[in-house]
């Protein structure tokens, strides 16, 4: 059989193949390993079991919520409202539990309210056509306003044991929130790689017009991604409720930046079309290790904020450069 | 038959294969956009295995005609027939369900997906039975195998077909992938919008071979192109539109590029038609 080759250099040279290998592994792998080694050398308090579990426990809710954000971002959207949304779920569910509500109803309530608020965001974007950046910025303020109105400066606390177990408990040496977070990342990764949900997130984020022409219900799927994000915010709210054993009006302020920073650092493209769930884990761990290092070095919360802000901007700058290069090199 | 005599009577020009039922036929199609008459009583028939070249200046109505056949627009007047039966399509989805596949000029590929992902985009099969349907688990092995099959049938060889996303491929390879998708799903008719516009000489020749091979297997195609050289290389029949009207419809070997240009610019055919 005669086969024609549509012209392309046959065998990539060695350094191109090595470069592709590096490109395919997560870009954070090497910096993270280097950072951990440096930290271990600088401080004998860093590489201790207690500190490692502290770091992982601190990353848990960011990973849980970040997996949802990774789907939203892959489909070329963004959800800025996650911090306020989590606070609202915590306020409602916390008050319900504070007044002696049943645990299982509280859990269902957290997931249902999260899902509902996520769907609201999705419908604002898909039905009203408000750009996600502004729709969810509006909801960030709205949900926070509802939290303040509902709690009115009060704090609810002292929840049933099972709720605190979700945030503070351990299975053997491993914190329960870490188990939940890694399970969410694993499930997210399976959904991303093997199901229509992941495939359509990529398709819609990569080329929305092509997705529409292919008969994909773009609006429906975008709404589903926002709903999934909301569901995970509900789960994150439960874990955080247990960890703090309290819900107060300012909980989760600024959480969106941490979540988005970690997701982007991990390799999910802000421009859509590509996501990575294990990258979310790596991104969040990197931020936590940096924060931990800053704390061990005596830096306060404000300095941590400065670093997080700069890190986020640098991560996006690196993506922009890479995006330009890849789009520039593709033919046609 | 003398091609010149046909060319002087474009309105009466019958398809040379009038003995067979056209796969698709549009009859007296008109389409207005506000005050602009984009198409004015155009009739075109496509027969089995035929490559029809649709040419004309910008604004001649080529795109409007293609969009009507692909279900994007609905005609104001006239009818569409498939295998001799009237056809009403209100969305591109309906056109695709009837076996009419379009290769858009911008290809409509998702760069981040592999060829198999693009080939099955929006039509992915599930695996693992009930659970697979519940969680919408993609049958990637099946999609890869079928993609290899189509590529082999069209004699397209793309290095890294099974591992690389299409943004790593050349313009010609991406065009080939887009055509392969149309061939895989298009059981009735292929519509190709400027398939060689973005390609170099070698890649253009390859894409033309792919089109020819597809149509030789029986599925007809309508090709829009500005490049008359390519049109004459690949097409069996040429239809010229000018200002929304059909001014020429004849076999490619019965006319010449110079004559076609004359019809496109209006230096021939327009007077008798007005």
Chain A CB within 8 Å of residue B265 CB = no
> Which DSSP category does B167 fall into?
G
Show which of residues 80-99 on chain B sit within 8 Å of chain A, judged by CB atoms.
92-93, 96
Rounded mean pLDDT, A120-149: 97
Is beta strand B189-193 parallel, antiparallel or unpaired with respect to B221-224? parallel
Q: Please give, one letter per residue, the 3-state secondary structure of B168-201.
A: HCCHHHHHHHHHHHHHHHCCCEEEEECCCCCCCH
Chain A CB within 8 Å of residue B264 CB = no
Nearest to A332 among B118, B122, B174 (CB): B174
Residue A46: pLDDT over 90: no
Residue A6: pLDDT over 60: no
Q: Which of A14-28, B23-37, B113-127, B231-245 has the lowest mean pLDDT?
A: A14-28
What percentage of residues in chain B have a pLDDT greater than 70? 91
Residue A207 to residue B206, Cβ atoms within 8 A: no
β-partners of residue B27 are: B79
Nearest to B109 among A3, A199, A210 (CB): A210
pTM: 0.86
CATH superfamily of B20-109+179-273: P-loop containing nucleotide triphosphate hydrolases (3.40.50.300)
A124 near A221, Cβ under 8 Å? no
- Round to whole Å and give the CA distance between B228 and B207: 15
B136 near A197, Cβ under 8 Å? yes
Residue B49: pLDDT over 70: yes
What percentage of residues in chain B have a pLDDT greater than 90? 47
List, for residues B162-218, the tens digit of each pLDDT value: 889 998 898 889 988 998 999 889 889 999 998 888 788 888 888 888 888 888 888
Show which of residues 154-173 on chain B sit within 8 Å of chain A, judged by CB atoms.
155-159, 166-173
pLDDT of residue B2: 41
List, for residues A170-221, the tens digit of each pLDDT value: 998 899 999 999 999 999 999 999 999 999 999 999 999 999 989 899 999 9
Residues 6+ apart with CB under 8 A from A42: A293, A296
Residues counted in chain A: 332
- Round to whole Å and give the CA distance between B22 and B15: 9
Question: Cβ contacts (< 8 Å) between A329 and chain B: which residues?
Answer: 167
pLDDT of residue A327: 63
ipTM, two decimals: 0.83
CB atoms within 10 A of CB A31: 13
> Which DSSP category does B50 fall into?
P
Chain A CB within 8 Å of residue B124 CB = yes
Q: What are the boundaries of each domain within chain B?
A: 20-109+179-273
Nearest to A210 among B93, B121, B170 (CB): B121
Which residue bears the tokens 């009060």? A154
Chain A CB within 8 Å of residue B112 CB = yes
Q: What are the boundaries of each domain within chain A?
A: 31-323
List, for residues B138-156, the tens digit of each pLDDT value: 999 999 999 999 998 888 8
Q: Which of A21-25, B68-72, B119-123, B231-235 has the lowest mean pLDDT?
A: A21-25
Nearest to B155 among A4, A202, A211 (CB): A4
Q: Which chain A residue's Cα is nearest to B93?
A: A215
B239 near B54, Cβ under 8 Å? yes
Nearest-CA distance B69 → chain A (Å)? 15
What does the DSSP assignment read for A235-290?
A: HHHHHHHHHHTEE-TTTTTTHHHHHHHHHHHHT--TTSS---HHHHHHHHHHHHHH
Which residue bears the tokens 């997130």? A201
Question: Cβ contacts (< 8 Å) between B117 and chain A: which residues?
Answer: 199, 203
Residues counted in chain B: 274
Nearest-CA distance A241 → chain B (Å)? 30
Q: What fold characterizes domain A31-323?
A: ABC transporter involved in vitamin B12 uptake, BtuC (1.10.3470)
What does the DSSP assignment read for B6-27?
A: HHT-GGG---TTTTSPPSEEEE
Residue B272: pLDDT over 50: no
A-B interface: how many C-beta pairs under 8 angstroms? 119
């Amino acid at each position: 059989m005669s086969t024609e080759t549509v012209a392309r250099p046959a065998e990539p040279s060695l350094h191109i193949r090595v470069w592709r290998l590096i490109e395919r592994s997560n870009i954070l792998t090497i910096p993270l390993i280097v950072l951990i080694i440096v930290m271990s050398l600088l401080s004998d308090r860093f590489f201790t079991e207690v500190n490692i579990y502290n770091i992982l426990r601190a990353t848990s809710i960011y990973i849980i919520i970040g997996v949802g954000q990774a789907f939203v971002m892959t489909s070329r959207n963004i959800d800025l409202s996650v911090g306020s949304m989590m606070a609202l779920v915590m306020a409602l569910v916390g008050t319900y539990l504070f007044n002696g509500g049943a645990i299982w109803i509280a859990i269902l309530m957290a997931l249902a309210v999260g899902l509902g608020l996520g769907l609201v965001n999705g419908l604002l974007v898909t039905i009203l056509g408000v750009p996600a950046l502004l729709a969810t910025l509006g909801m960030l303020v709205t949900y926070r306003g509802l939290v303040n109105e509902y709690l009115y400066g009060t704090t609810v606390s002292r929840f049933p044991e099972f709720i605190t177990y979700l945030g503070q408990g351990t299975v053997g040496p491993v914190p329960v929130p870490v188990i939940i977070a890694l399970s969410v990342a694993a499930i997210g990764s399976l959904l991303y790689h093997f199901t229509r949900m992941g495939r359509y997130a990529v398709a819609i984020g990569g080329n929305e017009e092509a997705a529409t022409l292919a008969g994909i219900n773009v609006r429906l799927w975008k709404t589903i991604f926002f709903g999934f994000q909301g569901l995970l915010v509900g789960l994150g709210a439960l874990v955080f409720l247990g960890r703090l054993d309290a819900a107060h009006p300012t909980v989760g302020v600024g959480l969106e930046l941490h979540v988005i920073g970690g997701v982007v650092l991990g390799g999910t493209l802000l421009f859509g079309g590509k996501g990575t769930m294990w990258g979310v884990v790596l991104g969040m761990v990197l931020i936590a290790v940096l924060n931990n290092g800053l704390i061990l070095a005596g830096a306060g919360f404000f300095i941590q904020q400065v670093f997080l802000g700069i890190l986020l901007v640098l991560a996006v700058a690196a993506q922009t450069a890479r995006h330009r290069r890849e789009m520039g090199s593709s033919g046609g | 038959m003398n091609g010149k005599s046909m060319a002087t009577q474009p309105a009466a020009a019958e398809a040379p294969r009038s003995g067979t039922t056209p796969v698709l036929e549009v009859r007296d199609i008109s389409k207005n956009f506000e005050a602009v008459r984009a198409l004015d009583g155009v009739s075109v028939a496509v027969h089995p295995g035929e490559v029809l070249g649709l040419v004309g200046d910008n604004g001649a109505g080529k795109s409007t005609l293609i969009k009507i056949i692909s279900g994007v627009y609905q005609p104001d007047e006239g009818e569409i027939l498939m295998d001799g039966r009237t056809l009403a399509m209100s969305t591109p989805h309906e056109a695709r369900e009837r076996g009419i596949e379009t290769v858009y000029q911008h290809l409509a590929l998702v760069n981040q997906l592999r060829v198999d992902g693009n080939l099955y985009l929006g039509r992915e099969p599930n695996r693992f039975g009930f659970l697979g349907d519940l969680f919408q688990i993609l049958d990637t092995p099946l999609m890869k195998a079928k993609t290899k099959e189509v590529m082999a049938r069209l004699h397209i060889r793309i290095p890294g077909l099974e591992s690389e996303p299409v943004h790593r491929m050349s313009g010609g390879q991406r065009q080939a992938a887009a055509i392969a998708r149309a061939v895989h799903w298009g059981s009735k008719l292929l519509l190709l919008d400027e398939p060689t516009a973005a390609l170099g000489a070698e890649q253009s020749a390859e894409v033309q071979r792919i089109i020819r091979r597809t149509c030789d297997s029986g599925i007809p195609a309508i090709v829009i192109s500005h490049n008359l050289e390519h049109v004459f290389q690949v097409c069996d029949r040429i239809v010229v539109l000018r200002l929304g009207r059909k001014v020429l419809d004849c076999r490619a070997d019965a006319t010449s590029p110079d004559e076609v240009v004359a019809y496109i610019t209006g230096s021939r055919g327009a007077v008798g038609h007005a």
